[in-house]
Amino acid sequence: MAETIRIPAETLRQQLRNIFMAWGMAEAVIQPTVDVMTETDLRGIDSHGIGMMPMYAEMRRQGRLNMQPNIKVLRETPVTALIDGDSGLGHAASTIAMNLAIKKAKTAGLAAVTVRHSRHYGAAGAYALMAAREGLIGLASTNAGSRAIVPTRAMEPVFGTNPIAFAAPAKNNKPFVIDMATSTVAVGKVKLAVYNDKPLPEGWVVDPTGAGVRHAPDAFDGFGRLAEGYGVTPLGGLAALSSHKGYGLAAMVEILCSMLPGTPFIGAMDDKSEHHTGHFFLAIDPMAFREEGEFETELDAMIDHLHGLSPSDPDLPVLVPGDPEDSAHADRLATGVPIPAMLMQAMADVCRDANVEFLLNRSV
């Protein structure tokens, strides 16, 4: 396995901030972007934190990122809103969107906010968790700027990995959080396999002929995207294992994040057309349905029941969605975020190109 180095979260945070400042990003955009990316790495979602920076750098070189976006509300009702991200990274627009959904839901009981004309927004779970930390149920999803999922029975990729995240607050336990791609695996995991010099598991990736791929570099373009013609399978992997369900979920997310806010459907666009991403956020106040504290207490009971189940392997206790991320957060806050050697080199290149000091060689 390639060497990894542990980096303190504050060093990672400062490195991101310095790069974005050098890129000319507006301060109002920098703060939420750095916050979401750092929290994502602390929670162990390595594919969507600092590991995205080489791809963001390439997007900027191509003129596809607006460093000074004018993020604004285009349409609004008491329980809905449509936000324009103005071609900026999606973290800031999405933070604004979920905060607006939270505010409206605390008044009206529930609210939905969409974003269009945006870019990659990191990990969906970061935004669902924002709602849970405010005592609300949160749902977040996004389509993607590149084709990745090959629909069941098809040969070519059509949808992005189109993730769905859901979070709910408990009374005593940490929030229940599930964050998943509608593909068998996120494209970022292919990138991490390259960075960590690992083979791809069978059924993750297919080549332009539909054949399975095990050698990760074959499927990776070097900037965070799949190589041309390569795709990931829908959740389920094979038709015999119900890949049609993942395919259907990917299409559902596309409807919420493309057709609803008014973002072009990537599957119908030619390769030369400029594509933006769309996001969907939903916040629900449990007190619109239950007396105060009842929902959280009953969710606690469910979580405790699941944790108390007899494990099939005594060395592997039954987990609840969110447990691995909570464990990673505690560990990484204390010992640092692990950065593989190949990503370390890629970040050194990003820093050199941005003419900023490379801070990530300061291990814990």
Report whether pLDDT(364) > 50.
no
pLDDT at 361 (0 to 100): 83
* CA dist., res. 249 & res. 30, Å (int): 32
Give dist(CA 81, CA 86) in Å, integer. 16
Strand order from edge to edge, sheet including 205-206: 212-213, 205-206, 231-232
Give the C-alpha distances (Å, rounded to integers) separating 68 from 94, 99, 215, 234: 15, 21, 39, 35
| Structure tokens given for 178 | 């599930």
In this model, does residue 195 exceed pLDDT 60?
yes
Residue 32 has a pLDDT of 98
Would the pLDDT of 78 be above 80?
Answer: yes
pLDDT tens-place string over residues 331-359: 999 999 999 999 999 999 999 999 999 99
Mean pLDDT: which of 100-114, 206-220, 274-288 is highest?
100-114
CB of 276 within 8 A of CB of 120?
A: no
pLDDT tier at 189, thresholds 50, 70, 90: confident
User: What CATH number matches the domain at 69-184+233-307, 3.40.190.170, 3.30.1370.60, 3.90.1150.110, 3.40.50.720?
Assistant: 3.30.1370.60
**272 pLDDT exceeds 70?**
no
Mean pLDDT over the full length of the chain? 94
Non-local CB neighbours of 103 within 8 Å, separated by 6+ positions: 111
Instruction: Please indicate, yes or no, whether the overall pTM of this predicted structure exceeds 0.75.
Output: yes
103 three-class SS: helix
Task: Quick: pLDDT tens for 84-141.
Answer: 999 999 999 999 999 999 999 999 999 999 999 999 999 999 999 999 999 999 999 9
C-alpha 57/C-alpha 164 separation (Å) is 26
Q: What is the pLDDT of residue 7?
A: 96
Residue with tokens 């963001």: 56
Does position 269 have pLDDT exceeding 50, yes or no? yes
Give the start-to-end residue ranges of the domains of the chain: 1-67+335-364, 69-184+233-307, 191-225
Residue 224 has pLDDT above 80, yes or no: no
Determine the Cα–Cα distance for residues 144 and 52; give it in Å rounded to an integer. Answer: 14
Angle, helices 9-22 vs 27-42, to 10°: value is 150
Specify the pLDDT at position 271: 61
Higher pLDDT pick, 147 / 96: 96
* pLDDT above 50 for 232: yes
Q: Which residues contact 330 (CB under 8 A, 6 or more apart)?
A: none
Tens of pLDDT, residue by residue over 163-177, are 999 999 999 999 999
Instruction: Examine the pLDDT at 1 and tell me if it is beyond 50.
Output: no
| pLDDT above 70 as % of the chain | 97
Task: Give 276's pLDDT tier (boundaries 50, 70, 90).
Answer: confident
10 Å Cβ neighbour count for 91?
A: 27
Fold of the domain built from segment(s) 1-67+335-364: Hypothetical Oxidoreductase Yiak; Chain: A, domain 1 (1.10.1530)
